Amino acid sequence: MCGIVGYIGEEQAAPILLDGLAKLEYRGYDSAGMAIYDGEKINIQKSMGRLKVLSELTHDGSTMPGCIGIGHTRWATHGEPSDANAHPHFNESKTIAVVHNGIIENYVKLKKKLTDKGYQFLSETDTEVVAHLLDYYYKKNEEKPDRIIETITKVMHRVEGSYALGIIFQDQPDRVYALRKDSPLIVGKGAHGNLIASDVPAVLKYTRDVYFIDNEEIACLTKEEISFFNSDGESIEKTSKRIDWDINAAEKGGYEHFLLKEMYEQPKTVRDTLNPRIKDGQIVIEELGMTDEEICAINRIHIVACGSAYHTGVTAKYIMEGLARIPVEVDLASEFRYRNPILQKNDLVIIISQSGETADSLAALREAKEQGITTLGIVNVVGSSIAREADRVMYTWAGPEISVATTKAYSAQLIAHYLLAIHFAKVKGMITDEKVADMITELKALPAQIEMLLANKEKIQKMANRYVGAKDVFFIGRGIDYAIGLEGSLKLKEISYIHSEAYAAGELKHGTISLIEEGTLVISLVTQKDLYLKTISNIVEVRSRGAVVFAVTNEDNTEIEKNADYVIYVPQTNKYFTNSLAIVPLQLFAYYVSIGRGCDVDKPRNLAKSVTVE
């Protein structure tokens, strides 16, 4: 995780770095720092705490003059959050400064070697070995004609693990260097200077022309030029891509929080993901590139993801199996990669990821590819590692998502799953044209239905106010309702810090029901008509043990009023699409409870949006 930035150009670097770091704070926010070359030497300012601490410390960057610099916002892996462990890190003579996103896995061994050679370490981080290693090889390569590239490639070959690194050398004051392996890195070509960053939003204010750096590539930026090298130090050519995102998408746009703004962007996100794939009343997923024969031959689908993306996978299993009758296994990426999964010819592995950079999801993708299995990425960030490495990519057009807790990307992922399931079912002859047409009509109605749910937030707000002090909350449901509960529960606990659990309603009595006490809040998802009565029985069971029940159900299920304390109705839709609607009140509930508790909803403690470490 962590975010890195760098700038070299005609402007003062510090304010540009602070601005870029603000866009990357979603990647980690326990400390921040900058290294700026002032014309004579490199100065570092860094501090534990949010970016605003660094801004205050440097008077918005004004106490750090210079047009060349690198910056960092941290999510601690090795070494607690502290001033000493914050990046950038120096070599001993303070002539080389380094920022790093990733983990140097062999740092213990390298640290030992460097310590034996007399290097002294000031932090507990894995990153500091890079600063000293650069120093070591820089001195060793003194006679080499291309001393810096020689040094960097040497370091590249010595370190194991993942890294996106930004480096400045006092001896080479007109250059910023950057390199990466398995952690994201982009380079932006601006009119008044060039930039490096972990993610596109950090450079959008200055340029839309971006180079995506591949694994084991090095970038060298001067004020005017950008050159690239491979891990052998040979010069390589790269082409830039024009980014056409709306820059406002990475700003709060009048909303108090990104989370709220992104929730309200869901109708647009759903439309943007859906509309381009509906042509002449048919679902057309051009980017899938699979023939009908290939689709009919699919033996099994493995959906692999982390966090909320995994929850969309759980939903997708019910839909894909229900509609297309293709067996689906859903795995957490961190489990999949180490369980020696059985993958067979004609299986399809679907990796779902908003960022396209989640370390475990990326590793799962590589595992599947290694076994020769076709892979499909459902990804939001264009040009991300998963998007580039998967055999096929289906983009979710949610635009930049800044809040750590996902909402709009989750909604877009659901749409991608619906489209795939309907398309596969149609190709396999499992559903008629008429049925497809009906489903398309229902899909097209979703954005307006989501808008309506968002507009009627008052009831949820009131309820949330009553439960800001809740100790435990349980989410129950069956089938797709269970999948909705998983996400509703995650949203609540990750941003409000209230303990919550999602349970398959029928499983409750195998243990969890013993946790229900007088006044415990149980949120019941009841959107699957064929399961209404079954779930209602479970509601009755918890209520008779003192639970307060908040039910989310369909408009036609008014009977539920007899069994629930609060009811939120969602508009009628196809049974497979109810997740898209029922999740909205749960997102709002989590948001308002958290606000009531004074939590930082956009940046919950200990979390980061892009999890690029195992």
**Which secondary-structure segment (H or E) carries 194?**
strand 193-197
Instruction: Name the DSSP letter for residue 561.
Output: G
- Would you tell me how many other CB atoms lie within 10 Å of the CB of residue 364? 29
Closest separation in Å from C-beta 599 to ligand G6P = 15
Query: Residue numbers of the site for ligand G6P (CB under 6 A)?
Result: 306-309, 353-355, 358, 361, 404-406, 607, 609-611
Closest separation in Å from C-beta 278 to ligand G6P = 25
Q: Are 28 and 1 in contact (CB under 8 A)?
A: yes
Q: Tokens 């709002």 belong to which residue?
A: 588
Closest separation in Å from C-beta 604 to ligand G6P = 8
> Based on CB atoms, which residue is closest to ligand G6P, 172 or 579?
579
Q: Could you say which of 2, 67, 220, 599 is catalytic?
A: 2
Q: Tokens 């009831």 belong to which residue?
A: 459
Closest separation in Å from C-beta 359 to ligand G6P = 9
Residues forming beta bridges with residue 48, ordered by sequence position: 31
The tokens describing 325, both together, are 């009758």
> Based on CB atoms, which residue is closest to ligand G6P, 42 or 387?
387
Residues forming beta bridges with residue 289, ordered by sequence position: none
**Which secondary-structure segment (H or E) carries 332?**
strand 328-332
Q: Are 334 and 587 in contact (CB under 8 A)?
A: no
Cα 446 to Cα 456: distance, rounded to the nearest angstrom: 15
Q: Could you say which of 111, 154, 189, 609 is catalytic?
A: 609
| Residue of closest CB approach to ligand G6P | 307
> Based on CB atoms, which residue is closest to ligand G6P, 186 or 405?
405
Cα 367 to Cα 336: distance, rounded to the nearest angstrom: 9
The tokens describing 126, both together, are 């894995």
Q: Are 205 and 7 in contact (CB under 8 A)?
A: no
Instruction: Give the CB-side neighbour count of residue 242, counting CA atoms within 13 A.
Output: 1
Cα 21 to Cα 405: distance, rounded to the nearest angstrom: 19
> Based on CB atoms, which residue is closest to ligand G6P, 6 or 399?
399
Residues 6+ apart with CB under 8 A from 202: 3, 5, 19, 20, 21, 23, 24, 195
Cα 389 to Cα 257: distance, rounded to the nearest angstrom: 33
Closest separation in Å from C-beta 15 to ligand G6P = 28
> Based on CB atoms, which residue is closest to ligand G6P, 183 or 361?
361
> Based on CB atoms, which residue is closest to ligand G6P, 27 or 457?
27
Closest separation in Å from C-beta 610 to ligand G6P = 6
Closest separation in Å from C-beta 384 to ligand G6P = 9
Cα 589 to Cα 575: distance, rounded to the nearest angstrom: 23
Active site residue 2: yes
Instruction: Say which amino acid occupies 382.
Output: V
> Based on CB atoms, which residue is closest to ligand G6P, 134 or 495?
495
Instruction: Say which amino acid occupies 33.
Output: G
Catalytic residues: 2, 609
